[in-house]
Structure 1
Amino acid sequence: MKMTLKQGIALSIIPQLLVVNLLKTRPDWVESLYSNGLYLWLSKISRIILGWIPFSLGDLLYVAAILLVIRFFILKGHLFFNATRKFFTEVFAMFSIAYLIFHLAWGMNYHRKQLHEFFDIDDEYTTQELIAFTERIIDRSNAIHLELVANESVKVEMPFTKWEVLNGTQNGYKNLARAYPLLTYDHSSIKMSTLSLPLTFMGYSGYLNPFTNEAQVNYKMPIYKFPTTVAHEQAHQLGFAAENEANFIGYLATINNDDPYYKYSGYTFALRYCLGEMYRRDLEEYQRLSERINEGIKKNYREVTAFWRSYENPAEPIFKKSFDTYLKANSQEKGIESYSYIVALLVNYYEDHNL
Structure 2
Amino acid sequence: MSEKMKNILALSIILQVITVKLLALAPEFIEKYYSNGIYPFISAGFRYAFGWVPFSVGDVFYTLAGIFVFRFLIRNTRCLFRRPWYFLREILIVLSFAYFSFHLFWGMNYYRPPLHQTLDIGSKYTTEELLSFTEKLINRTNNIHQKLTDNDSVLVKLPYSRREIYDMSVLGYREISSENPHFSYAPESIKSSLFSLPLTYMGYSGYLNPFTNEAQVNSLQLDYRYPLISCHEEAHQIGFSAENEANFIGYLAATANKDPYFKFSGYAYMLRYCLNEVYRRDREAFARLKEQVHRGILKNYEEAAMFWSKYENPAEPVFKNTFNAYLKANNQTDGIKTYSYVVALLVNYHKKYPF
TM-score, normalised on structure 1?
Answer: 0.98
Structure 2 SS opposite 1:216: strand
- Would the aligned equivalents of 2:162 and 2:222 in 1 still touch at CA under 8 Å? no
Structure 2 CA distance for aligned equivalents of residues 72 and 78 of structure 1: 11
The equivalent of 1:291 in structure 2 is 291
- Would the aligned equivalents of 2:223 and 2:304 in 1 still touch at CA under 8 Å? no
- Would the aligned equivalents of 1:43 and 1:105 in 2 still touch at CA under 8 Å? yes
Q: What letter matches 2:304 in structure 1?
A: V
Confirm whether residue 198 of structure 1 aligns to residue 198 of structure 2.
yes
Structure 2 SS opposite 1:173: helix
Q: What letter matches 1:352 in structure 2?
A: K
Structure 2 CA distance for aligned equivalents of residues 85 and 218 of structure 1: 40
The equivalent of 2:239 in structure 1 is 239
Q: What letter matches 1:271 in structure 2?
A: L
Give CA deviations for 1:38-76 in whole Å, capped at 9, x if unaligned. 111000000001000000010011111111111111111
- Would the aligned equivalents of 1:205 and 1:221 in 2 still touch at CA under 8 Å? no
The equivalent of 1:20 in structure 2 is 20
Q: What letter matches 2:300 in structure 1?
A: N
Structure 1 SS opposite 2:191: strand
- Would the aligned equivalents of 1:251 and 1:266 in 2 still touch at CA under 8 Å? yes
The equivalent of 1:148 in structure 2 is 148
- Would the aligned equivalents of 1:102 and 1:211 in 2 still touch at CA under 8 Å? yes
Q: What letter matches 1:159 in structure 2?
A: P
The equivalent of 1:162 in structure 2 is 162
- Would the aligned equivalents of 2:324 and 2:335 in 1 still touch at CA under 8 Å? yes
Structure 1 CA distance for aligned equivalents of residues 336 and 20 of structure 2: 22
Alignment of 1:192-231 (within 5 A): 192-231=192-231
- Would the aligned equivalents of 1:191 and 1:217 in 2 still touch at CA under 8 Å? yes
The equivalent of 1:122 in structure 2 is 122
Structure 2 SS opposite 1:94: helix
- Would the aligned equivalents of 1:173 and 1:253 in 2 still touch at CA under 8 Å? yes
Residue 240 of structure 1 deviates from its aligned partner by 0.1
Q: What letter matches 1:276 in structure 2?
A: N
The equivalent of 2:261 in structure 1 is 261
- Would the aligned equivalents of 2:244 and 2:338 in 1 still touch at CA under 8 Å? yes
Alignment of 1:344-355 (within 5 A): 344-355=344-355
Structure 1 CA distance for aligned equivalents of residues 334 and 48 of structure 2: 34
Structure 2 SS opposite 1:291: helix
Residue 276 of structure 1 deviates from its aligned partner by 0.9
Structure 1 CA distance for aligned equivalents of residues 173 and 301 of structure 2: 25
The equivalent of 2:305 in structure 1 is 305
Structure 2 SS opposite 1:224: coil
Structure 1 CA distance for aligned equivalents of residues 52 and 305 of structure 2: 33
Structure 1 SS opposite 2:225: helix
Structure 2 SS opposite 1:63: helix
Displaced runs of 4 or more, over 6 A = none
Alignment of 1:41-60 (within 5 A): 41-60=41-60
Q: What letter matches 2:176 in structure 1?
A: L
Alignment of 1:92-107 (within 5 A): 92-107=92-107
Residue 3 of structure 1 deviates from its aligned partner by 5.7
Alignment of 1:330-349 (within 5 A): 330-349=330-349
Question: How large is the Cα RMSD of the aligned pairs?
Answer: 0.9
The equivalent of 2:79 in structure 1 is 79
Residue 223 of structure 1 deviates from its aligned partner by 3.0
Structure 2 CA distance for aligned equivalents of residues 195 and 85 of structure 1: 34
Structure 1 CA distance for aligned equivalents of residues 139 and 183 of structure 2: 28
Identity %: 51
Structure 2 gap segments, 5+ residues each: none
Is 94-103 or 69-78 further displaced after alignment? 69-78
Structure 2 CA distance for aligned equivalents of residues 83 and 42 of structure 1: 39
The equivalent of 1:109 in structure 2 is 109
Structure 1 CA distance for aligned equivalents of residues 153 and 100 of structure 2: 52
Q: What letter matches 2:292 in structure 1?
A: R
- Report how many residues are paired: 354
Residue 222 of structure 1 deviates from its aligned partner by 2.7
